[in-house]
Each structure stands twice: as structure tokens, then as C-alpha cells.
């Protein structure tokens, strides 16, 4: 089998989680020769130890600390775009997307957070790829608020809403139907143990250590599902598979290092933008299995609150800004038939790029001054457009056909 799966792990602490995922793959008979692991870290971490771990596990892979990322941008004549990847931020997962884009053998990407572990019940990588290839009937969930709680199955008992779910969309009325799907472009695995909550909800749950007193278990998850067209859902990148075609519309938004101190919404907003693109292009995001175990380390809930509060109001409205975006000409940018990377009938990268460009323009040029820190959305929009320029700059050259022989 080709090495076609790029596993992207942002880490400054528990990089040893990779060992558990490799063991899971081998126990389930998944060919680890298909995997290439990209550890995205910082200069203050032990990159040599990380590379030694990959070698010991007989896994193909590379480690990119800040210096290595800087050199990578230089090598790809894209140094002007290096600031698209913030330092010491979860949003540095975007570097893994750039790495994938520059290496077209990778048809699939998998995001793994370093505070997670696989459950032995699932073939972790195999299940994500099976989800991405899924065609057929699946539960489709909608609500009267246009938002679907990924924890909706047992919400009447635990009352949990995940990080990024708008407060204005709570107490929604859920409707479930069956949909026939054939174009899955992302597979979001959910999580047991520590739920992925924002700091306000953690405080309301009575926990001061950044976790939650209420925990999730297998019983809290039912049928796998998609959010119906026109409905949004939180997309957390701790356990996520995706096709390379979505990379133009899946930039993990720049957070933390900005003058407004907005943080913690990188994967949430990227998921909003990806869902809008999917709705316009007839694609879907699969939610459910494989579950992972989320072992979030204790930390001050108030530290998380400090990092989130500057963006809470924006999170209530950012999805509304892109919900009406509908670029022209999408019918001419459908599934690729030219071998340029589209697979499984997924829309071509150019189609995802067109939607992302329209959303970026909407944010970059809009007047968002009615909201606290609204100018940050202008910066986000500009970064989205720079992201597309960066992809153009680093895209591997396509070999040109040899010229036809002269007719003499």
C-alpha cells in the first residue's frame, strides 16, 4: 500500500500518545506503512526524543519545531507566509495541512491531540478511512436553531454542550431523519472521559481545574450521524480524519497571538467554514466513531476563560456571516476528473478554495464594529485569503507534457 495517510499531532507534552495509536493500528491489522507522522512542536521541546520515538516505533515521520518550520517555509519559497502558523498555539496544526499539500501522495489526513488515547474497541485509522469512504443511509440531525449538539444523544441527562456551541442556539428542538450520503470529506470522532467544553460551561459544571465533573462514556453516544444541510456543528480537531481536497477550506484559524487576545476557536471556526463549504458542494462531515479517550490535564479553568472570553461574542455571530456566502461558478468547479488529487467523488480542491475565498472576503471587508473585538474578524478574513495564496505558492509543480514533435 502507498504511504497515503498523514498523521498530524500538535504537541508540547505527551507526544508518547503516538505509541498507543501505533499499537492500536497493529493490533487491528492496519498497515502502519501507510502512515507518516508529523509532530508539530516548539524549540523548547525535545525534538530529538520525538524523532527517536518514531524510529523506535518503526514509523515514518518528521518533527517540526519552530526552527524546522521556518526552514521548511524557506525551502518552499514561502517564507512570507510563515506567520500563518502561530507559535505555541493549537492552531499550528495548520502546518500539517501545508505539509500535506506539498506532498500529494497523502490522500488522507488525521488530526490527533496529544492528550487523547485510542479505544481498543475501534481500529482507529481504519474506522476514519471507512467513514471517509462511506456511502449509504445515515442518521441526519437538524434543529430549529441551525445548530446540532454533537452530544445530543444523551443531552437530556448530562446537559452538556461542547466548546464552540453558541449560547444563543441552546435549548434547541432536534429533528432526526435518514439521509442518503455519498460524499464524506471529514470524519469527526467523538470522545469519552473529559468532554470538550468551554470554560464558562466547565465553571457551571463546578470544576476549577479546566476539566469537568460530568464525564462522558460509551453510553452517551448512539448512532453515527451527519448534521443536515443548513445546520452547523462544532468540529473539534482532537480526533479527526479528512480528505486532502478540503485543505483549502480547512485552515485552522490563527489564534492566541493577536492584539485582541482571542483564542481557543481555531478548530471551531474552521469547522464552521468547512461545513458551509460542504453544504454548497454537496459533501458531508461524518460524526461519531471512532471514539477516543480525552485525558485533559488539570489546569486553571480561569486561564481557559481568559483565553476564550475575548472571542465568545464573535463566536455567536461568525457563522451567521458566512451562512449567506454563495460564490458564483461552483458548478464549474465540481469533482475533479483530472487526477489532481480528488478522490472518492469529493469536490475538487478548487471548489473548496472558491468557497473559502468568498468567506474570507466577507470577513476581511465587512464592518464588524458592532461586536467587541469585531476587528479580529477582519484579520481572520485576511489570513484566510493569505492561506489560499500560500497554498498556491507551495503547490508542487505538475509535470508538463512533452511538446509534440514538429511536423516537417
pLDDT, residue 328, reads 85
List pLDDT tens digits, range 276-311: 999 999 999 999 999 999 999 999 999 999 999 999
pLDDT, residue 344, reads 56
| Dihedral sign computed on CA atoms, order 257, 259, 262, 268 | negative
C-alpha cell at 220: 452517551
Average pLDDT over residues 333-359: 74
CB atoms within 10 A of CB 47: 20
The CA distance from 69 to 66, in Å, is 5
pLDDT, residue 96, reads 98
The CA distance from 268 to 274, in Å, is 10
pLDDT, residue 343, reads 53
Band (pLDDT 50/70/90 cuts) for residue 395 is confident
- Contact partners, residue 156, CB within 8 Å, separation at least 6: none
CB atoms within 10 A of CB 140: 20
The CA distance from 353 to 388, in Å, is 7
List pLDDT tens digits, range 25-49: 999 999 999 999 999 999 999 999 9
Q: Does pTM top 0.75 for this prediction?
A: yes
C-alpha cell at 293: 479517550
pLDDT, residue 401, reads 39
Band (pLDDT 50/70/90 cuts) for residue 145 is very high
Residue 348 DSSP code: P
**The CATH number, out of the four listed (3.40.350.10, 3.90.550.10, 3.30.70.980, 3.40.50.1860), of the domain defined by the range 5-394:** 3.90.550.10
207 touches 300 (CB < 8 A): no
Tell me which of 87-91, 96-100, 182-186, 278-282 is least confident.
87-91
What phi-psi label fits residue 206: left (phi over 0), alpha (psi between -120 and 50 degrees) or beta?
Answer: left
Tell me which of 6-10, 148-152, 336-340 is least confident.
336-340
Band (pLDDT 50/70/90 cuts) for residue 200 is very high
pLDDT, residue 399, reads 38
The helix/strand/coil state of 161 is: coil
316 touches 166 (CB < 8 A): yes
Check pLDDT > 60 for residue 337.
Answer: no
Amino acid at each position: 500500500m502507498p504511504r497515503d495517510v498523514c498523521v498530524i499531532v500538535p504537541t508540547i507534552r505527551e507526544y508518547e500518545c503516538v505509541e498507543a495509536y501505533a499499537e492500536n493500528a497493529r493490533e487491528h491489522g492496519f498497515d502502519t506503512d501507510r502512515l507518516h507522522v508529523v509532530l508539530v512542536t516548539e524549540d523548547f521541546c525535545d525534538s530529538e526524543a520525538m524523532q527517536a520515538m518514531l524510529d523506535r516505533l518503526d514509523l515514518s515521520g518528521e518533527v517540526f519545531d519552530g526552527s524546522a518550520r521556518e526552514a521548511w517555509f524557506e525551502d518552499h519559497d514561502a517564507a512570507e507566509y510563515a506567520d500563518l502558523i502561530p507559535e505555541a498555539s493549537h492552531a499550528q496544526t495548520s502546518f500539517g495541512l501545508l505539509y500535506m499539500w506539498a506532498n500529494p501522495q497523502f490522500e488522507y489526513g488525521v488530526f490527533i491531540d496529544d492528550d487523547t488515547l485510542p479505544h481498543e474497541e475501534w481500529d482507529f485509522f481504519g474506522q476514519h478511512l471507512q467513514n471517509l469512504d462511506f456511502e449509504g443511509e445515515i442518521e441526519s440531525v437538524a434543529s430549529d436553531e441551525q445548530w446540532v449538539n454533537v452530544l445530543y444523544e444523551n443531552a437530556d441527562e448530562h446537559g452538556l454542550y461542547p466548546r464552540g456551541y453558541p449560547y444563543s442556539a441552546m435549548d434547541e428542538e432536534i429533528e432526526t431523519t435518514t439521509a442518503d450520503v455519498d460524499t464524506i470529506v471529514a470524519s469527526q470522532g467523538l470522545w469519552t472521559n473529559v468532554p470538550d467544553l468551554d470554560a464558562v460551561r466547565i465553571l457551571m459544571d463546578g470544576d476549577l481545574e479546566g476539566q469537568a465533573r460530568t464525564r462522558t462514556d460509551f453510553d452517551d453516544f448512539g448512532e453515527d450521524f451527519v448534521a443536515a444541510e443548513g445546520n452547523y456543528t462544532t468540529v473539534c480537531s482532537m480526533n479527526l480524519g479528512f480528505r486532502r481536497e478540503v485543505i483549502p477550506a480547512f485552515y485552522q484559524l490563527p489564534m492566541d497571538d493577536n492584539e485582541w487576545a482571542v483564542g481557543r476557536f481555531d478548530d471551531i471556526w474552521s469547522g464552521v467554514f468547512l461545513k458551509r463549504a460542504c453544504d454548497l458542494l454537496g459533501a458531508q462531515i461524518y460524526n461519531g466513531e471512532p471514539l477516543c479517550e480525552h485525558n485533559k490535564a488539570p489546569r486553571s479553568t480561569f486561564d481557559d476563560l481568559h483565553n476564550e472570553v475575548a472571542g465568545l461574542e464573535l463566536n455567536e455571530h461568525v457563522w451567521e456571516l458566512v451562512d449567506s456566502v454563495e460564490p458564483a461558478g461552483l458548478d464549474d468547479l465540481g469533482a475533479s476528473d483530472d487526477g489532481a488529487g480528488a478522490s472518492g467523488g469529493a469536490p475538487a480542491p478548487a471548489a473548496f478554495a472558491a468557497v473559502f475565498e468568498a468567506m474570507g472576503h466577507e470577513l476581511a471587508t465587512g464592518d464588524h464594529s458592532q461586536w467587541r473585538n469585531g476587528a479580529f474578524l477582519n484579520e481572520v478574513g485576511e489570513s484566510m485569503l493569505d492561506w489560499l495564496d500560500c497554498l498556491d505558492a507551495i503547490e508542487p509543480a505538475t509535470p508538463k507534457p512533452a511538446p509534440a514533435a514538429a511536423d516537417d
